[in-house]
Structure 1
């Protein structure tokens, strides 16, 4: 898997220049027209994790490789990417049009304590929202407003740009049923949020020497300073799944990503995911995925 891509990497590889304000205390934000960065001569960035957030509006035929999944796009779509999950956007033809904006955690934190409060940025959340032609128009207008505002000399333009980002977020959330939205309403949901954040800090695995340390309910309960039974009840209430099931799902997701996007052997991947023996990893993978690691790699 390619190394973490920084903001500096993005600008140097994709845009071929570095802005002066990357280290601003207010956080970084920028917006671009997608049309300027597609085509035969465009620089294609590899499947990797980035250290910034990205929202993309795209129209055309493409594939969105996100975590261990590939999502086909055949029309209009709004894509959300966060620093915790590796991804790659693969255009399938030159007829791509749209916009994208990038921003840092600091940019969001002026009005949001934790980006995991937003469902599309939460691990396991919905990263892609399809748009009808009717829904496309107001989203395009928001990006156009961003494009105009960032070039203005308005003293509070970054506050306004942040509002446009949140308007994009809420536009997307309205496209899914209200029952799927996350509501930070009680202690159980707060514990679930903290558990998810702690789990995701261990991923993605980027070098063969990196290893997952927290792999069971007791370890997570200890770090969160709650009784393991309390943790299990909270996660069951919020997600419908046990702590063990959630950990296993995340390990399986990472295993798929490593098998598909690295040349590491199964023993190396087994070690990274915290299994004492490759045979234990093979048994885990077969039980959870219904196939072997080698079969996934040869697909």
Structure 2
């Protein structure tokens, strides 16, 4: 069986794994993301690749990366929080170092691709995927294919302005990412130590102040969902990222949407992604397969 190395680069950690040609994961792990030093970022990735290749015959490397990615060349105009990769070409860097084919796609697009190929959007030609992590990402499917935009920047709805606070505009990255939720919770509880999102959801069941904070945070997400749905009129809205495993998140988004005046006219299913934290890696693998077929056909 052919095997492939997959990466999902996030602002906090780099998830990676070994996947078979049937799309099943054989191994999975993660390491902290080096966001600012290019040499260290590449060294960390090359070391992970080396460990897999020491034990397995590997056919290629598929990467899910934040930011504006030219899928044909691998060039990143911007790479989200991973500033080391701004205006860099990770595909060229890695192929020169490890001598394996590399394909790279935007992380939100990867999540959408995974859901379209084998997840909760297999029956849809037009749908939106929103991923909730440190910030907000996502992908848009129109007429059965990813819509990337003129400069590979479509789907960056984390940049949507969803809140005006005393004259200051705030986008969805600032209001709706899990980093925002954790920051607000730590302020409420006067905490210095890190906090996991699961703790906040659990505590909201018994603490009215935490529940109010959580519902306000979910309200920012619901506004973003509403704006996207009334703009694109898709068949389905999928919510991804690790936090989508919390049933209350999806329930509360839908509850709040019911309060919007015109939601009844535009209403569609708002459901969790099937793959959650694995969507980026799996979607990168599916993208790799498609790009390999494309490049072979062009020869």
Shorter-chain-normalised TM-score: which range? under 0.3
**Greater relative CO, 1 or 2 (CA 8 Å, sep 6+):** 2
Q: Decide which structure has greater strand share.
A: 2
TM-score by length of 2: 0.28
Rg comparison, structure with higher value: 1
